[in-house]
């Protein structure tokens, strides 16, 4: 394995639960969410400008649309958000009759469709599900999950990856030519006996997967066989999700969290919840823009 990389603080945002980093090429902005604090943060890496929006619900992802607006994956609904006017328009609901769940991980696949997951607000076992929003229609792909995470896709769009975090296993799921799952997902990478738990993930331009290990203070790179070949170390213990952003998608940004920390842990890790960045010597692979119809 390579010697590894060190991530440094990019934005001292102190998110309770930073998640869902997404690069919007049109505005040259990186967006990420603080789920529990109901905030949407942004950064312009080119000039260092940054800001945030206060939201009316927990949101786990803000993914770019063709016209420059964002689709917000909310607690139990999808809405379209205009950063210029800060206006929202309702798009669709999910699990509205299930008050114990909220959205969690999400990412657009190689076909321009959105995969999103839900989980219990208290991580109730088996309360979570995995969905796909394709041509404006939401379809449940899997249920009985606890903390679905690591949603990402092979460059050719012929495989999806995900994990149910408490299991420690990253799964690989073959997809057909329209991006629908085929057969059963298969175990691909096993972190059940490793420090930390698999959380968010992103695929780079070489088809390798960068996976945040919650609790272990690192992001690891997995090759096509699911073997760790590189790592990024952080000065905080709870990285949640990586994304490639900035000029030529050459920088790896990582959201982190201080969720569940004691007062002592917050003192020991004053940068916890911040947005971090590392130069890993590899470029990212742009996610397609979400298609709503």
Report the catalytic residues.
199
Phi, psi of 146 (to 5 degrees): -105, -60
Choose among 107, 143, 116: nearest CA to 128.
143
- Binding residues for a divalent metal cation, as ranges, are 19, 149, 199
For residue 68 the two structure tokens come to: 């420059």
Q: Could you tell me if 31 and 40 are in contact, meaning their C-beta atoms sit under 8 angstroms apart?
A: yes
DSSP letters for 111-125:
TS-EEEEEEETT--T
In this structure, what DSSP letter does residue 287 have? Answer: P
Q: Which whole-number Å values give the CA distances from 229 to 44, 113, 138, 170, in the listed order?
A: 30, 30, 36, 16
Q: Which residues contact 96 (CB under 8 A, 6 or more apart)?
A: 76, 77
What is the token pair recorded at 198? Answer: 């698999």
Q: Which two tokens stand for residue 253?
A: 């940004």
Q: Which two tokens stand for residue 228?
A: 């760790």
Kind of pairing, strands 5-6 and 228-233?
parallel
Q: Which contacts of 78-85 are long-range, i.e. CB under 8 A and separated by 24 or more positions?
A: 78/133, 81/40, 81/53, 83/27, 83/42, 83/53
Binding-site residues for substrate sit at 102, 104
DSSP 66: T
Phi, psi torsion values for 268, nearest 5 degrees = -75, -30
CA gap 16, 37 in Å, rounded: 7
């Amino acid at each position: 394995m390579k010697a590894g990389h060190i991530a440094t603080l990019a934005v001292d945002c102190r998110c309770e639960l930073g998640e869902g980093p997404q690069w919007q090429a049109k505005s040259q902005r990186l967006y990420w969410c603080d789920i529990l604090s109901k905030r949407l943060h942004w950064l312009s890496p080119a000039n260092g400008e940054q800001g945030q929006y206060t939201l009316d619900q927990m949101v786990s992802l803000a993914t770019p649309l063709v016209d420059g607006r964002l689709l917000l994956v909310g607690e139990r609904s999808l809405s379209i958000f205009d950063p210029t006017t800060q206006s929202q328009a309702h798009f669709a609901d999910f699990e509205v009759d299930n008050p114990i769940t909220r959205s969690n991980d999400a990412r657009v696949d190689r076909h321009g469709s959105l995969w999103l997951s839900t989980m219990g607000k208290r991580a109730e076992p088996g309360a979570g599900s995995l969905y796909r929003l394709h041509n404006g229609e939401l379809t449940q792909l899997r249920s009985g999950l606890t903390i679905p995470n690591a949603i990402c896709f092979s460059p050719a769009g012929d495989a999806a990856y995900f994990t149910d975090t408490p299991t420690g296993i990253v799964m690989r799921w073959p997809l057909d030519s329209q991006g629908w799952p085929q057969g059963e997902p298969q175990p691909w990478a096993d972190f059940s006996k490793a420090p930390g738990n698999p959380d968010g993930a992103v695929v780079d331009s070489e088809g390798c997967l960068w996976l945040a290990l919650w609790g272990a203070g690192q992001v690891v790179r997995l090759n096509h066989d699911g073997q760790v070949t590189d790592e990024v170390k952080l000065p905080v213990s709870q990285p949640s999700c990586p994304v490639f952003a900035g000029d030529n998608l050459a920088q790896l940004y990582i959201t982190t969290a201080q969720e569940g920390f004691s007062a002592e842990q917050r003192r020991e890790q004053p940068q916890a919840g911040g947005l971090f960045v590392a130069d890993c010597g590899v470029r990212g692979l742009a996610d397609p823009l979400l298609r709503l119809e």
